[in-house]
Structure 1
Amino acid sequence: MIVSCKVLRMTCNISTLIFISEGSSNLCTPTPTPAGDTYKGWVFKWTNYIKGYQRRWFVLSNGLLSYYRTQAEMGHTCRGTINLATATITVDDACNFVISNGGAQTYHLKASCEVERQRWITALELAKAKAARMQAESDDSGDDFSPTSNPVVPGQGGGSQNSEVQSALRTLGSKVEDLSTCNDLISKHGSALQRSLSELDSLRLTGEAGDKIRQVTERATLFRITSNAMINACRDFLTLAQAHSKRWQKALQAEREQRVRLEETLEQLAKQHNHLERAFRGAAQANATTDNKSSTGPGKGEASDEDDDNEFFDAMEEAPEFITVPADPQFHKLSPSELVPLKKRRTRIPDKPNYSLNLWSIMKNCIGKELSKIPMPVNFNEPISMLQRLSEDLEYHELLDKAAKCQSSLEQMCYVAAFSVSSYSTTVHRTGKPFNPLLGETYELDRRRESGYRSLCEQVSHHPPAAAHHVISDRGWTLRQEITVASKFRGKYLSIMPLGTIHAIFEKSNNHYTWKKVTTTVHNIIVGKLWIDQSGEIDVVNHTTGDRCHLKFAPYSYFSRDVARKVTGVVMDKDGKAHYVLSGTWDEKMEFSRVMQSSRGGENGTEGKQKTVYQTLKAREVWRRNPLPEGAETMYYFTALALSLNEQEEGVAPTDSRRRPDQRLMEDGRWEEANAEKQRLEEKQRSARREREREAANQRTASQSEEGEHEQYPSALWFERCEDPITGEQVHIYRGGYWEAKERGSWEGCADIF
């Protein structure tokens, strides 16, 4: 099967050899050749007389040709599909070709060069021939395969024993039929080429033109000879495979019979071993209790026939039957009371109701404004708070676990940088807005038993909204951050700018990393399907060693041929020497490669900047996105972690987001009640603020906050405001006491916010 796939890929390249041999390979950079039965690439499609040809992403798979505006649309929006089984494919000129399906659908397409057009024509002809053949087989009388398929060689056992060989033969036969189609195409195009060459030769051109014609004629002849030889070699391969199929089946059957005999022998040995053990125990106990035998039935130590249905095994002090190994050290820290089964988290929430609401009707009055100050209905929300959304940064906490084990600070930087990218993977389809937390609202995420960490968030400011976050892990790392979100509506899109610094500290190495978040943009606010992009740059800095990683999130561009959602980065030491290169996408995966050598290339871009060329070893995958749960599209596209965040849990603080009534009502699908409850909570929050201001005025100690400064909240309960020793910023750092209060069940200091 592997050889046949290689043959097919070679066949798909055949039609380009003439152009390449004539020096046309420099006309364009051809797209990758089709792998198997799938072919993808950019092609220009005629739309109308105003827009002309527009660049579209085409996918050829299973006899269907589909197209999309971008690669990102492949998961949700197909713009059109043609079944090639009944389609006609015609060539207009050097780069243009037309695909028509009985007049109902017609695609006028244009490739970027002749070579690329010929690749598409070859792939389409192959797919058409295969689709027509499969359609004919499906219309057959019900046989498993058509008369033209390879004969099935009878096996030595049942159908399940020779199904592998039969499947291999069917696949080989199918590939040879593909090659036959290629052979027909080669003969057809080769004959046309030779006719054209003959016509040129009849012109009796002399000099350099005549020599060129003779040279092309010779190359065309060699090309046909080579193609025919390849087809014959493939046929010989299939004949050889069929000739040896019986030998393969006999060998496979012998191996299966040998395995069955070994299984039966092992079963007999186990029974004999058990019988000897029982006989030994019976004899030993009989010698010790000779005078105490019962007069009715066999004694305890005797081997009774009734024991054949009920076998019991006693523990033996010598010769243990298993080996014990030391568990992970973290489990030795747990007391016996903590050794309980892990809690099973929920995997579903109620489906999102199908409520329609015009986003533009509300957003049109918000252009240029700070959205955190504008009340929004829950129809635009998802049923979690911003504190819970912030806790989702821990979706891939394993990256920090691995980083804590790294001996090299530069390799550790790769894992920290990948962690900084991974937090954006949950946002691809998440167009819903999280609930703005109330002042004093908290959220705990206790995953110490499952994953070794505890997380606590608290809303420490309301205008501007700011949340403090602290995570401590038993596996040697601490994460803390204070994030303030600024958002502006620009008309066609919404920009969300997180402000604040994230800190990661590793206990063993004492390495202290910091970085900031990039800008999130929500597009198509006015019309169309909402989609999200991340753009900007991140500098991950190790303040202990001076190492640095510069990450760049490339913004999406309609005209770019580059991979969508691309992220690149370089890890450098304090002297600026590159050691690792990172690459990937923020929604799928990241890889890192060790740099062996770097050099400056020629001028690239503006202002005479030079492009650095890195010679690297083979890339290693450092992070890959987890698949979404089944049915995620009806559950706000939540990940497995997000589905469990708002699950009811006993013992949490009365200010915890799980206890928020409007959020709970929305999750249950009762949106009208949720909107009413949301208004009540917001009014309660405003009343509490007015009361604080009134008390401060009476005591003549109130101080008016300047625009842009944090609101003078009495003080956060679990965090204290201070100057960050690393960045010099005024931040809130965890003061401690929350988990101790939870153990005591004492929440006297919590405000009544719900």
Structure 2
Amino acid sequence: MQGRGCWESASVRSFCSSGCLNKFKKDDSGDDDDETTSPADKSELHYTIKSLSVKLDDLSTCNDLIAKHGAALQRSLSELDGLKIPYESCEKLKVVNERATLFRITSNAMINACRDFLELAETHSRKWQRALQYERDQRIHLEETIEQLAKQHNSLERAFRSAPGRTANPTKSFSEGSLLTPKGEDSEEDEDTEYFDAMEDSTSFITVITEAKEDSRKAEGGTTGSVDWTSSDNVLDGASLVPKGPPKVKRRVRIPDKPNYSLNLWSIMKNCIGRELSKIPMPVNFNEPLSMLQRLTEDLEYHHLLDKAVHCTSSVEQMCLVAAFSVSSYSTTVHRIAKPFNPMLGETFELDRLDDMGLRSLCEQVSHHPPSAAHYVFSKHGWSLWQEITISSKFRGKYLSIMPLGAIHLEFQASGNHYVWRKSTSTVHNIIVGKLWIDQTGDIEIVNHKTKDRCQLKFLPYSYFSKEVARKVTGVVSDSQGKAHYVLSGSWDEQMECAKIVQSSPSSPSSDGKQKTVYQTLPAKLLWKKYPLPENAENMYYFSELALTLNEHEEGVAPTDSRLRPDQRLMEKGHWDEANSEKQRLEEKQRVSRRRRLEACSRGCGAEEAEKEADVYMPLWFEKRLDPLTGETACMYKGGYWEAKEKQDWHMCPNIF
């Protein structure tokens, strides 16, 4: 009997340690983040409750076994107690009996406590689920209501604007611009701001349309300007139309449809708040199959605006087209919420389109931390563009701020006009909850450093409750004396117009003492209009016609070209699991290359100096120079790429893929 009791006690320990209890510990020690990343999700709640129920069943089984074997153990102890044994052994037997009783009581208490905990968790889980579902339904209903009201408001506004007889009345407002005093660089950094509210008295100028015959001779007071509108008709009229010719090279018009893979963003981003976006390990599920170098090249989609600007005899007219070109670069972002691939250090991308677009473009990733790309464009129509853009981005929990740093240069060879401007801030909203949407905000100043002409552009923040047109952009073109010549208006996702100013005068002060400038203008002319998206664009990452061709395979490109990047190519084909593996391989290869540079530098200098040297990369096709106009050091094209391509001599290119 004694042997049998010991064997049964051993069987309890063996079962509990290697069976149910071991399973319980293993399940319970798993990553909680994987099961509770989204408590509002019904399926995850049900899965959690089901898992807890399974564990309760395991505990109940253990309880039954403990009770059974505990009772058997006590019977064996009682039988031993009835035997004639020495007094000392009897005392020890009583102690063992008491401990066995305490063990059974404690085990039952543990099981009861676990059952009570599960019942409480189930009760509260149901309450939380109902509360979250109610809040979700209310939010969706509110968003649908507000969106419907916004659409109705826009429809009414368009109907009002298109009403017959409005344009003939010079006393009615043609449009209202918004050119605000900058609020400072940190306005987007407000942690509590998710939606921008409509701002009262947001306009600092008002434009009033008039007929051409109502020239400046009828104006009383105020600043007047030339009304020779016809001189610019041959350039500004139809500026948005693209000269279409038969393409010499047939380009692809579609890519494989985007797979429908779901992934929880919060499970990846919750530990990355405040970190640089470029340093967050992101799977390709959040990418689009283009690199940042290719996205930068997309700015050239409306290059015809600059081709037309070459023929302008007036620098202020040319400024209008340059301003429209600067706004057009944002038109591709309205639906493009996916993240482009971070280029590898030394990665390049060429766009050799002299035949159909009349230009050649080259980008190179010249820095990895911070990510920086140099870009140079040559057009056979008589202009050149270059820039070095460094992307600074911060994840703020509710939204993502993307701040491109660096100046954009544009020079027309014939006139010598040299324009410089910088990009605005992009903000991606509803990172955690709701539908993602992107907005462009801030001020852009374009300066012609030869004539000192200026254009002040204002990107109005979007608001459900604003009376303004969504994604509105306004601006004023002024000469070196500060006299306004043109008013620009439109939206960064659709079109831009310009209207010639024939008179400007201050308005009557408002109740709060603020004063606006009233511009009397001629009828507006269309400068730029966005191309319609290709058919089935929603399943092709909302790529434009140009974007669809950027990753198309081409022969003869450098071995560092983005088209040859394997993870990006696999993603485009829909093989996302393989693409993620390749992406990890490339990133590790890049880290190994940096460690080698660090080791090489550390042999001849200190550790701190070596780390700085390891981050210094010598670009192949660009070199650091001092920009005399901005006073900044930037990478500029030093030549040699197209000559190397013609010879197919790429021996100097690093092996980065």
TM-score by length of 1: 0.55
CA distances 1:665-696 after superposition (whole Å, capped 9, x unpaired): 00000000000000000000000001011111
RMSD of the alignment, in Å? 2.9
Please list every run of at least 4 consecutive aligned residues from structure 1 whose deviation after the TM superposition is greater than 3 angstroms.
53-58, 69-75, 701-706, 709-712
Counterpart contact for 2:601–2:610, Cα < 8 Å: no
Match of 1:579 in 2: 485
- Pick one of 347, 361, 373 that aligns with 1:441: 347
Q: Distance in 1 between matches of 2:342 and 2:362?
A: 17
Q: Which amino acid aligns with 1:461?
A: S
The secondary structure found in structure 2 opposite 1:450 is: coil
Shift of 1:439: 0.3
The count of residues paired between Structure 1 and Structure 2 equals: 436
Match of 1:599 in 2: 505
Q: Which amino acid aligns with 1:474?
A: K
**Structure 1 residues 434, 621: CA separation in 2 closer, same or farther (over 3 Å shift)?**
same
Match of 2:618 in 1: 715
CA distances 1:180-227 after superposition (whole Å, capped 9, x unpaired): xxxxxxxxxxxxxxxxxxxxxxxxxxxxxxxxxxxxxxxxxxxxxxxx
The secondary structure found in structure 2 opposite 1:614 is: strand
Q: Which amino acid aligns with 2:543?
A: F
Shift of 1:370: 1.1
Residue 282 of structure 2 corresponds to residue 372 of structure 1: no
Match of 1:733 in 2: 636
Q: Distance in 1 between matches of 2:572 and 2:294?
A: 14
**Structure 1 residues 515, 341: CA separation in 2 closer, same or farther (over 3 Å shift)?**
closer
Residue 146 of structure 2 corresponds to residue 71 of structure 1: no
Match of 2:288 in 1: 382
Q: Distance in 2 between matches of 1:746 and 1:701?
A: 37
Match of 1:476 in 2: 382
Residue 264 of structure 2 corresponds to residue 355 of structure 1: no
**Structure 1 residues 711, 403: CA separation in 2 closer, same or farther (over 3 Å shift)?**
farther
Match of 2:397 in 1: 491
**Structure 1 residues 492, 341: CA separation in 2 closer, same or farther (over 3 Å shift)?**
closer
Q: Which amino acid aligns with 1:614?
A: Y
- Pick one of 329, 337, 348 that aligns with 1:431: 337
The 5-angstrom pairing of residues 41-440 of structure 1 reads 68=148, 70-71=150-151, 342-440=248-346
The secondary structure found in structure 2 opposite 1:732 is: strand
Counterpart contact for 2:321–2:527, Cα < 8 Å: yes
Shift of 1:726: 1.1
The secondary structure found in structure 1 opposite 2:560 is: coil
TM-score by length of 2: 0.63
Q: Distance in 1 between matches of 2:614 and 2:502?
A: 51
Shift of 1:364: 1.6
Match of 1:659 in 2: 564
Match of 2:554 in 1: 649
Shift of 1:722: 1.2
The secondary structure found in structure 1 opposite 2:596 is: helix
CA distances 1:598-630 after superposition (whole Å, capped 9, x unpaired): 011123596x43211000001000000000000
Counterpart contact for 2:454–2:478, Cα < 8 Å: yes
Counterpart contact for 1:72–1:564, Cα < 8 Å: no
Counterpart contact for 1:55–1:69, Cα < 8 Å: no
Shift of 1:704: 3.2
Shift of 1:527: 1.2
CA distances 1:696-723 after superposition (whole Å, capped 9, x unpaired): 11133886389xx997434100000111
CA distances 1:38-57 after superposition (whole Å, capped 9, x unpaired): xxxxxxxxx9xx99x97988
Where does structure 2 lack aligned partners over 5 or more consecutive residues? Answer: 1-134, 161-245
Q: Distance in 2 between matches of 1:69 and 1:436?
A: 39
Q: Distance in 2 between matches of 1:481 and 1:636?
A: 26
Q: Distance in 2 between matches of 1:692 and 1:511?
A: 42
Match of 2:591 in 1: 686
Match of 2:536 in 1: 631
Match of 1:746 in 2: 649
Where does structure 1 lack aligned partners over 5 or more consecutive residues? Answer: 1-46, 59-66, 76-110, 117-339
**Structure 1 residues 54, 389: CA separation in 2 closer, same or farther (over 3 Å shift)?**
closer
Counterpart contact for 1:385–1:436, Cα < 8 Å: yes
Residue 633 of structure 2 corresponds to residue 553 of structure 1: no
**Structure 1 residues 660, 56: CA separation in 2 closer, same or farther (over 3 Å shift)?**
closer
The secondary structure found in structure 2 opposite 1:480 is: strand
Counterpart contact for 2:601–2:614, Cα < 8 Å: no
CA distances 1:360-407 after superposition (whole Å, capped 9, x unpaired): 221222212111111110000000000000000001000010111101
Q: Distance in 2 between matches of 1:686 and 1:580?
A: 51
Shift of 1:341: 7.2
Q: Which amino acid aligns with 1:737?
A: G
- Pick one of 502, 517, 533 that aligns with 1:612: 517
Counterpart contact for 1:483–1:501, Cα < 8 Å: yes
Residue 442 of structure 2 corresponds to residue 536 of structure 1: yes
Q: Distance in 2 between matches of 1:651 and 1:672?
A: 29
CA distances 1:462-499 after superposition (whole Å, capped 9, x unpaired): 00000000000000000001000111111111111111
Shift of 1:588: 0.2
The secondary structure found in structure 2 opposite 1:390 is: helix
Counterpart contact for 2:602–2:610, Cα < 8 Å: no
Shift of 1:528: 1.2
Counterpart contact for 1:447–1:453, Cα < 8 Å: yes
CA distances 1:296-320 after superposition (whole Å, capped 9, x unpaired): xxxxxxxxxxxxxxxxxxxxxxxxx
Counterpart contact for 1:447–1:454, Cα < 8 Å: yes
The secondary structure found in structure 2 opposite 1:68 is: helix
Q: Distance in 2 between matches of 1:405 and 1:395?
A: 19
Residue 577 of structure 2 corresponds to residue 677 of structure 1: no
Counterpart contact for 1:566–1:585, Cα < 8 Å: yes
Identity %: 66
Counterpart contact for 1:464–1:710, Cα < 8 Å: no
Match of 1:245 in 2: none
Counterpart contact for 1:415–1:622, Cα < 8 Å: yes
Shift of 1:72: 11
Does 1 or 2 have the higher relative contact order (CA < 8 Å, sep 6+)? 2
